[in-house]
C-alpha cells in the first residue's frame, strides 16, 4: 500500500486486472497524483493450460481496494481494465461455469484455423472483423469449448471478457466497450456491432453477450456491497482491455509508437484508419475513445529471455556484444509470427560463443520480432524518427533498452509513470466527471514524461541475420506439435 498528500480534486479509481494480479490506483482527477494503491495476486494454472478462476479476480479486487484505505471510499468514479480475449462463462446466477480460458491458453489453434477457412479466409476476416483470429481470440476459445466441453457450453447463460465480469459484479448489468469487444473475433469493426454470421458459426446466441457501451458513457453505479470499500452510487465507466487502457494512460496521439515489454510483447499505435491486415500480423483493435489501435503481439518476450538467462545461470543483464549466434526464443509457440507449435531455435553456435553473447541473442530475437511487427502496425506516412515509447516490466532493464535502441535505430523514451493500464482506467473514470477525452486527461497529467535515449546507428547486420534464419526455419518450426528446433 502507498499513500500521498491530500488531493486537489475528486478522486477516481483505476483498476488493472491482469493475468497475474489485480492492481488498484486511487488518483486525484485534477492532477493525476496517485493518492493510494494496492495489489493482490491471482492463481493461473500451470503447464500448457492457462486458466484462472474469475472469483479470484473479484477477491483480488477487494483486497487491492482495501489496501487503498479510506481513499477508495471517497472515489467518485471507477473504471476496470483487464486482460484481453479471456473467455468467462457464467451460469444463470452469474457464477462461473468453469475457470476462464485466458488469452495465452493455446488449445484453440485448430479451431482458429478452421474458422478462418470456413468463413471466407484471412482477407475476408480482416475486412469484416479487422483481425484474422488467432488462438488468443475469444471466438476460437468458445469454439473449443463447444467442441470439447459441450456440457459447459450448454450451461452458459452469459459470456463475458475478464473486465466485463468485474464491471458486471460492480453494477449488476452486462456491458463491455468497443476496445475489448474488438478482441473477441465476433465484433465486426466494419459495422461496430456483433456479427450474427460468426456467432451462428460457433453456436453462440448474441443475447448471451454484453451490451457495447459508448466511449464516455456511465454504465452504472456501484451496488452496495460489504466486499468492496466503495460508496454506494460511485459512477462506473465502461472499462476496456489492457492495451487500450495503456494507450489512454499514455495519452497517445495518432502515430506515436509504443513497444511494451512484458510476459508477452506488444507494439501498437493509435490510428484514425480502421486496420484490415490480411496477413494476420496486425490485430485491428478499436481503442477506447472511438479511434483504432492496430496492435501486434508476440507471446515470447521478457519471460522467454529470463528463462534463457536462468538456463545459462546468468543475471538477466549479463549480456556480451559480438558473436554471430542467432536465437529465436519461441519457447511457448508464437503468435507473431503465427507459429503456435514452434519451440526455440538456436543457430550458429560455435566453440568460442560466450554465454553472455547467447543471452544477448535471446534479447535480439525477441526485439527483432517486435520491430518487424511495428513496421506493419504504423501507417505508411508515420514519422519514423519519432521516439518509441518503451513501457512494461522490461522497459526498466538496461539490456532491453539498449537492444531496442540498437535494432530500431530510433530514439527511445521511457515514461516514468508506473501502472499505465490502471492509470489509463483512472483517466477514463476521470473523464466521466469532467466530460474530457480520457487521453486528454492523461496528457494533462503528463503521464508520458520520462528520459529520452538518443538514437544510435541501426544494427542492420544483426537484423538481416535474424531475418534470414527465421525465414529458413519457418517451415520446420510450423510443422506441428512434434516439430520445431530444440533450445
> In angstroms, rounded to a whole number, what is the distance separating the alpha carbons of residues 284 and 268?
10
Residue in 177, 242, 332, 338 annotated catalytic:
242
**Residue in this structure with the C-alpha cell 506441428, named with its chain if needed:** 480
Distance, in Å, from the CA atom of 209 to the CA atom of 130, rounded to the nearest integer, reads 19
**Which residues, in sequence order, are CB contacts of 482 under 8 Å at separation 6+?**
none
Judging by beta carbons within 10 Å of its beta carbon (0-12, 13-18, 19+), is residue 81 exposed, middle or buried? buried
Q: Is 53 a catalytic residue?
A: no
CB atoms within 10 A of CB 127: 16
**DSSP assignment of 357-426, as one string?**
HHHHHHHHHHHHHHHHHHHHHS-TT--TTSPEEEESGGGG-HHHHHHHHHHH-S-EE------HHHHHHH
- Cα-flanking dihedrals φ and ψ of residue 162, to 5°? -55, -45
Instruction: Give the closest residue to 11 by CA, choosing from 25, 191, 3.
Output: 25
Q: φ and ψ at 177, to 5 degrees?
A: -130, 165
SS3 258: strand
* Cα–Cα distance, 99 to 101 (Å, whole number): 6
CA 149, CA 143: separation in Å to the nearest integer?
Answer: 10
Q: Strands, DSSP E only, in 121-253?
A: 158-160, 175-177, 187-188, 193-194, 211-213, 220-221, 235-236, 240-241
Whether the link from the prior residue into 244 is cis, omega within 30° of 0, is: no
| Contact predicate 405/453, CB 8 Å | yes
Element (H, E) at 285: strand 283-286
List, in sequence order, every residue forming a beta bridge with 159; answer none if it has no partner.
89
Chain centre to alpha carbon of residue 87: 15
The distance from CA 310 to its chain's CA centroid, rounded to whole angstroms, is 25
Residue 373 CB partners (closer than 8 Å, separation 6+): 267, 281, 282, 296, 297, 298, 336
**Residues forming the active site:** 242
Amino acid at each position: 500500500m502507498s499513500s500521498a498528500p491530500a488531493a486537489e480534486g475528486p478522486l477516481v479509481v483505476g483498476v488493472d486486472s491482469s493475468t497475474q494480479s489485480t492492481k488498484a490506483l486511487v488518483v486525484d482527477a485534477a492532477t493525476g497524483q496517485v493518492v493510494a494503491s494496492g495489489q493482490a495476486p491471482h492463481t493461473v494454472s500451470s503447464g500448457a493450460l492457462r486458466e484462472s478462476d474469475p472469483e479470484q479476480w473479484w477477491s483480488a479486487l477487494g483486497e487491492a481496494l482495501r489496501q487503498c484505505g479510506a481513499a477508495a471510499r471517497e472515489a467518485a468514479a471507477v473504471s476496470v481494465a483487464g486482460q484481453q480475449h479471456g473467455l468467462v462463462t457464467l451460469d444463470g446466477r452469474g457464477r462461473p461455469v468453469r475457470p476462464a480460458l485466458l488469452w495465452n491458453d493455446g488449445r484453440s489453434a485448430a479451431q482458429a484455423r478452421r474458422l478462418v477457412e470456413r468463413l471466407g479466409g484471412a482477407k475476408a476476416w480482416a475486412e469484416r472483423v479487422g483481425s484474422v483470429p488467432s488462438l488468443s481470440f475469444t471466438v476460437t476459445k468458445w469454439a473449443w469449448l463447444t467442441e470439447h466441453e459441450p456440457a459447459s457450453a450448454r450451461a452458459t447463460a452469459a459470456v463475458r471478457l475478464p473486465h466485463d465480469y468485474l464491471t458486471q459484479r460492480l453494477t449488476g448489468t452486462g456491458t463491455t466497450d468497443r476496445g475489448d469487444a474488438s478482441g473477441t473475433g465476433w465484433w465486426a469493426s466494419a459495422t461496430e456491432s456483433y456479427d450474427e454470421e460468426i456467432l451462428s458459426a460457433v453456436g453462440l446466441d448474441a443475447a448471451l453477450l454484453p451490451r457495447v457501451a459508448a466511449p464516455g458513457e456511465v454504465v452504472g453505479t456501484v451496488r452496495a456491497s460489504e466486499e468492496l470499500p466503495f460508496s454506494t452510487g460511485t459512477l462506473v465507466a465502461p472499462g476496456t482491455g489492457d492495451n487500450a487502457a495503456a494507450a489512454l494512460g499514455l495519452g497517445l496521439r495518432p502515430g506515436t509508437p509504443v513497444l511494451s515489454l512484458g510476459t508477452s510483447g506488444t507494439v501498437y499505435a493509435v490510428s484514425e484508419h480502421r486496420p484490415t491486415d490480411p496477413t494476420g500480423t496486425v490485430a485491428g483493435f478499436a481503442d477506447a475513445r472511438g479511434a483504432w489501435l492496430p496492435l501486434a503481439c508476440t507471446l515470447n518476450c521478457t519471460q522467454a529471455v529470463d528463462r534463457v538467462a536462468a538456463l545459462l545461470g546468468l543475471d538477466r543483464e549479463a549480456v556480451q556484444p559480438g558473436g554471430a549466434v542467432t536465437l529465436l526464443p519461441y519457447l511457448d509457440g508464437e503468435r507473431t509470427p503465427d507459429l503456435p507449435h514452434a519451440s526455440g531455435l538456436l543457430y550458429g553456435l560455435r566453440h568460442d560463443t560466450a554465454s553472455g553473447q547467447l543471452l544477448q541473442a535471446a534479447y535480439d530475437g525477441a526485439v527483432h520480432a517486435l520491430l518487424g511487427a511495428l513496421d506493419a502496425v504504423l501507417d505508411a506516412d508515420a514519422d519514423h524518427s519519432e521516439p518509441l515509447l518503451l513501457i512494461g516490466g522490461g522497459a526498466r532493464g538496461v539490456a532491453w533498452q539498449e537492444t531496442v535502441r540498437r535494432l530500431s535505430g530510433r530514439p527511445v523514451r521511457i515514461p516514468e509513470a508506473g501502472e499505465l493500464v490502471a492509470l489509463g482506467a483512472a483517466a477514463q473514470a476521470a473523464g466521466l466527471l469532467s466530460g474530457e477525452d480520457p487521453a486528454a486527461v492523461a496528457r494533462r497529467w503528463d503521464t508520458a514524461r520520462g528520459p529520452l535515449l538518443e538514437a544510435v546507428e541501426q544494427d542492420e547486420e544483426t537484423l538481416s541475420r535474424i531475418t534470414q534464419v527465421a525465414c529458413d526455419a519457418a517451415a520446420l518450426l510450423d510443422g506441428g506439435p512434434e516439430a520445431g528446433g530444440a533450445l
